Each structure stands twice: as C-alpha cells, then as structure tokens.
Amino acid sequence: MCGITGWVSFHQDARLHVPVIEAMTATMALRGPDAGGVWLGAHAALGHRRLAVLDPDGGAQPMADSPDRPEVVLSYSGEIYNHHELRAELRRRGHRFRTRSDTEVVLRGYREWGDGLVDRLVGMYAFAVWDERAGRLLLVRDRLGVKPLFWAPIDGGLAFGSEPKALFAHPGITPRVGAEGLREAYSLLFNTGPTLWEGIREIEPGGMLTVDRAGQVERRYWQLEARPHTDDLAATVEQVAGLVDRAARSQLEADVPLCSLLSGGLDSTVLTALAADELRLTGGPEALLRSYAVDYSDQAVAFTGDVLRTGHDTPYAAEAGAFIGTEHSTVVLDPKALLDPEHRRAVVVARDSPIGVGDMDTSLYLLLGEIREHSTVALSGEAADEVFGGYPWFHASAALAAQTFPWLLVTGDEAAMPLHPELAAVLRIGEFRADTYRTALAAVPRVDGEDAAEHRRRELQHLSLTRWLRQLLHRKDRLSMARGLEVRVPYCDHRLVEYAFNVPWSMKSHDGREKGLLRSVGTGIAPESVLWRPKNHYPATHHPDYNRGLQRLAREALDVPQVREIADASVLGTTLDAPAERLDWGQRLRLERVVDLALWLDHHRPAITL
C-alpha cells in the first residue's frame, strides 16, 4: 500500500517545480514509510511513497515503461489480486517484465488495453497514469472505494493525492471550508464527490477521470446493477461460499508478515478461518496465522453494554482463535491512553476531518500501531454487514418504514454535535438530508416485477454499500495508513458484492436471522457460539475516568472562540456537567466531536467562510 500525488498543468513546465512535488510527496510519508520517488515531465509531475508489500526490490515508483524515453508513467497505490493472471496474458501478447510487482502489471496493462484495463482489474487501488504520447492524465479508483483519491483544479489542469493534505502542499491550493463543506460533514450522509474542503473532490468509487488540453472528463466504469436472481437456495449458498472463499484466499499474497483482525464476530471469524486454512495448505501444517483483537482494561473486569454493543468481544475472539488455530493476541488498552492529546491529534491529522467516532478511532489507531510491530498486512471484515444484510436496519420495522438514511436512526441528532444556531440556520441540514435522500433513492436500480418489500431492502442495501460503507473504508484506510499498515478487505471483492446485491432477502435470512448466507459459509469452520452471536459493533470503553477526561477536554475545546462559532455550547452544557458514570453513547460522541473539532481547527487552520 502506498500514497500517490501529483499534478498536470498545461500552463507551466512542471520540471521547474521540483520542490513542490517533493513537498506533496512528503505528506504521504506515513502511508509509505519504505521509499519515495518523484517523476517530472514538461506538463506533469508524479510523486509516490511506498509501503513495500510485493517485490520489495523491484516495485519502485513512479514507474515508467522505459528508463530513457518514457511514454507512460504510473503512480499506483493498492493491490491487484489477479495480477498473476493478467501478467500471463500480457506475456502471451509479447510484453516483457522487469519486476514481480503488480505495479508493473498495471503499467503494462495500460500499454496494452488503455483505459479498458480497469475492467480487468480485481483488487483495491487508486492510481494515476501520465500518457506522454497523448498528453493526458488518467486517474482511477477501485469499484468499492477502498483506496481514496482526491483532486482539485489548479491553473491549467489539476492536482491529485491519496489524501487532502497532499493537495495543501501545492501552492495553488489553500485549505478552505465553506457552508457546503460543513453541510457535507455534519449531515453524516457520506456523499462521494464533494468533500469538506472547498474545491476538493473525490474520484467516485468505480470512477475514472481524464484530463488533457481539451479539458477533463469524469465517468463511472462500474456501479451496482439490479438483475434477476435465478439460483435456488442451495445454489446460492454454494455460489456465495465460493465467492467468499476465493476472495479470502486470493488476498494473502505478500512478501511481508500478514495477520488477521479477529473480533470474535461472524465476519472476521470466517475470513480468519479461510486465511488460516490457506496458509496451512501453502506453508505446511505448522504455518500459523497471527490474529488480533482489542479490549479495554475496564471491559475485561466488567463489560458495559450500550445501544451498539450487547456482549464482550474478547472471550469470543479467543474461542475463535483457538478453534481455528491462530496465534492469537488481545491488545488491551488503558482508557487513559485514549485521552492522550497526541494520540487524538494524530487521528485527526490522519483523517483531515473533524468528523469521526472519537475513542473508537483512537483505539483503532493504537491497535493498528501494536499490530504494525509484528505485521505489515492485515485482513479485515469490513463490508460483510452491507453485503449480507447484517445491520438492524435491514430487518427493523422502524428503519424499513423511515423515510431517511437508516443510520441516522442510530447516529443522527442524538449523537451529532449540536451546531451554533446561526450556523444551523445557514446549513439547513434537515432540508439537505431530505433532498439528498430523495436523490439517493432515485439512483437505486430495480428489477422488473420486484415487489415493494423486496425493493425497500434493496434500497437499504444500496444506501449501505454506496454511503455507509464508504466512511468505514475511509476510517480504516486513514488510520491503518497512518501506521504504515496495509489492510485488505475481502468482502469488498466486487464479484461477491454484485452477486449478493441481487440475492432476495428471503435467502439472505434463510435461517431466520440476518446474515444467514454468511452463517452457512461459516458452518464447520467457526465455533457455534460465534455463528449465532448477535451483531456487535466495534468495542468502546465505558470507564468513568475516560468520561471525566472527555468532559475536561470538551470544556477546554469550548474555550476556543472558533469552536464556539460552530458548536452550540449551551446545548452541550448539560452533557458537560452530567455524572461521568451516566454518560450514554450519544452524549459521549457529541463531546468527542467537539474535542476533534478543536484539534482539527488547530492543526489544519482552515479559512472558514459562510
């Protein structure tokens, strides 16, 4: 995994601006701690920071098709899981390879198929191709949006980067935030395209953008499609099992240590079981997969549940690790570590945003840091709930009937930071949510003859896959990359997503519970206790000392005048003064976002104009 950045401008000679591309590239050092490089042509500059995972000696970037007179230059981040098959096909077509890296497969693939390369790729990726022959830059992002890619217009072209911070190192781009950006951030709708930052946009998942002297063109090369499902239940279970199995086993190639995140839930346990089996098949019966879980010192003594968590993960994770046969470790965090200002600041800097989930982000950052001491690649279970219908909103009557984004029933106004009344009047978030919801539903495809109940669940799945999942992937990418750790997400294999999207709900819940299809896949390879365990979200501490510390940090944050211009201190007063033992999840998240807002303002110092 890596960080990419660069620009194209037809109004200047990029070769005269070496310090600029070097500064932009340097902002990606945490994403790529192993190496860095730049390439400059007359009208384009590409930068790259590398986390070496495959072919450490041969995958240096930016990579050119020729060392002397390059016609095509690539800066690439990600993993192509079918690169061996593509390499074999390219060799049959006469291409010669200098390295074992998947990077060179992308480069040679572009030489052979041009933009049509994207239809052949299986993986997670974001990359930039400068075509010297055509005087054209191509930006591409993977189908589910696992890897981020941002861009902004500059004089005579555009600049791009894996993170906004890379763009801010370009002299033509200033960190500015307006009403539209704040509306995007605090509405919690997770649009892709517009961002918090004025003038900065994301490449859509499954999207590509080209820019040349004639201008720029952005288009989607992939999106979810509705198709009739013709397989019976037995064939569906078999097909899903094959797709999950292939996704998990195909994502294990690495020249560095690999591990699995094992929470003790169904999603991570199935992935870990398949990965462990594959390692034993290829490495011998003694080959052990490392697995990791997170816990808090207070939860180990007395678990405290809330609206998102009904049970303690650690015993289930340990049982799953023993059942599968992994080398399992539990990283136990002291709640005081979650209050450390430097840890919290590192998280906000990684996100380039004040919007997160507080201690759950900080704990993930600390967990990934511990994992990085032993592994460079980790498997994770993101997307299983979206793919197999695991969230309560897929079966709760209130969510099925609600005319709004389903996660707002859980993370809406009760957990949102209250906005200053004057700002709230400008942003009009309620209207924005209603308008965006209508637009989002209009984009959901439909199968002829699909009844209303089935289509409603298709709507919820489409919203989950195209919005809710995106913020989960952003979170995992930013925090793992800030630790120099590559995280792979097999449930985001687009072939699995395409198939499951069209499986009717009666089959998804064929055993009377959510995620019935995945439970069928896990039968025999996961403990029974895990197979039938209720959905549990990422763990959080409930220690009163943490709550008291959070209240203190929030009070300090509200002493900052610019924070009080955004947050409504009068509404937060009761939460600040509430007994620490009684703070619920929503109250805590409000305080978390005030603290993060202050850190974001202090680090990024954005120019805010309303």
Q: Which residues, 6+ apart, have CB-to-CB distance to 133 below 8 Å?
A: 71, 72
DSSP string, 230-298: ---HHHHHHHHHHHHHHHHHHT---SS-EEEE--SSHHHHHHHHHHHHHHHHHH-TT---EEEEEEEHH
CA distances from 359 to 175, 241, 462 (A): 26, 35, 29
Burial of 524 (0-12, 13-18, 19+ CB in 10 A): exposed
Measured distance between the N- and C-terminal CA atoms of the chain, rounded to whole angstroms? 37
Among residues 2, 209, 289, 563, the one annotated as catalytic is 2
CA distances from 220 to 119, 193, 206 (A): 11, 12, 6
| C-beta of residue 479 within 8 angstroms of C-beta of residue 471 | no
Q: Find where tokens 């052949």 sit.
A: 120
Sign of CA dihedral 281, 287, 293, 298: positive
- Helix axis angle, 585-604 to 544-557, nearest 10°: 40
CA 151 – CA 6 distance, rounded (Å): 10
CA distances from 86 to 57, 78, 101 (A): 21, 16, 12
CA 47 – CA 58 distance, rounded (Å): 17
CA 490 – CA 343 distance, rounded (Å): 29
Q: Find where tokens 């079918």 sit.
A: 82
Long-range pairs for 552-557: beta carbons < 8 A, 24 or more residues apart: 553/339, 553/341, 553/344, 553/591, 553/595, 554/591, 554/594, 554/595, 556/598, 557/594, 557/595, 557/597, 557/598
Q: Which residues, 6+ apart, have CB-to-CB distance to 283 below 8 Å?
A: none
| φ, ψ for residue 523, nearest 5 deg | -60, 125
CA 106 to chain centre: 22
Has 2 been annotated as catalytic?
A: yes
| φ, ψ for residue 514, nearest 5 deg | -65, 155
Which residues are catalytic, by number?
2
